[in-house]
Amino acid sequence: MRKSLILFLLICVASVAMAQEKVGGFIHVSAGLSTPQGDFGSSDASNARAGFAKGGPSLGVLLGHKIAGPFGMFGQFTNSFCLIDREGLANSLSGTGNYSWSSDMAAWRLTGFSFGPHLSFNLKRSAFDIRTSVGAMTYFSPELNLSGSSQTGGSDASLKQLSTRSSSWTLGVGLTYKYEVKWGFVLLANAEYLMGNPNFVDVQTELYLDGVGLISEQKSTYQQGFRMLNLELGCGWVF
C-alpha cells in the first residue's frame, strides 16, 4: 500500500512538472484606432439607433497565461473612444427652429476590464491568439455642445447635453498575431470586436438663448448599441 501511494505521488508530481513546462504567460500593450460598426456609426437622422460615431483612439493591455496545450485564460483592460461626427450631427438638426447648427468636438467612451479563454497557435517565432471575452464595462455618452445661428435675425441659441455613464455586459472576439524579436520580446498586431447595449438614464439636455439664458431643460433615457472594431499595433513580452 505504501509503495502504491509513493508511486501515485511521484506520478502526480511528474505530471504537474510537465504541465508547468508547457505553461507560458504573456503581456501585451497596444494602441490604435477604434472604428464604429453598424448603427453606432450611422449619421442618418431618420435612424433612431444612429450613434453619429466615427473613429477614435484606443488602448489595450492584455495579460494571459496558458493552462494546457494551446488553451489558456486572459484578462484585459480596454479604453476606447469614438469621436462624434460633428458635421453629421449638426446636419441632423438643420432647419430646427430656423437655426443653422454647428457642434463642438465630443466622443463616446468605453472602458473597463474583461476576461475569457484563448487559444494560442505557435509558428516557430510567431504565434496567433484567438480569444473571446466578457466583462461588465463602463460606457460614457458624449457631452454635446451645439451652437445655433438664427436664420431669421433672432437671438442665437446653444444646445447642451451632459455626459452620462452606464454599465453594461460587453462581449468581445479578438485575434492577435505576434512575432518574437528576441528574448521573449514580441511585436504584435491586434484586432478586437466589441459589442454592448448600455442604457443611459436621466440624460440632461438644456437649451439657451443669447440674452435670455436657459429657456428649456429635460431629462431622457435611451439605449445605445455599441459595436466597435479596434485595430491596434503594439509590443509585449512572453514568459
- Structural domain span for residue 231: 23-238
| Sequential pLDDT tens for the chain (239 residues) | 444 444 334 333 333 333 344 447 999 999 999 999 999 999 998 898 999 999 999 999 999 999 998 999 999 999 999 999 999 999 998 767 788 999 999 999 999 999 999 999 988 889 999 999 999 999 999 999 999 999 888 899 999 999 999 999 999 999 999 999 998 999 999 999 999 999 999 999 999 999 899 999 999 999 999 999 999 999 999 98
The CATH number given to whatever domain includes residue 50 is 2.40.160.20
**pLDDT value, residue 95:** 65
- Count structural domains, the chain: 1
CA angle, residues 74, 133, 29, in degrees to nearest 5: 50
Predicted local distance difference test score (pLDDT) of residue 151? 87
Burial readout 92-131 (b: 16 or more C-beta within 10 A, e: otherwise): bbeeeeebbbebeebbbbbebebebebebeeeeeebebeb
**What is residue 14's predicted lDDT score, i.e. its pLDDT?**
39
pLDDT value at position 211?
87
Q: Decide: 76 and 53 in contact? Cβ < 8 Å.
A: no
Tell me the pTM: 0.85
pLDDT for 112 equals 97
9 is a domain residue: no
Is there a domain that residue 15 lies in? no
Structural domain includes residue 1: no
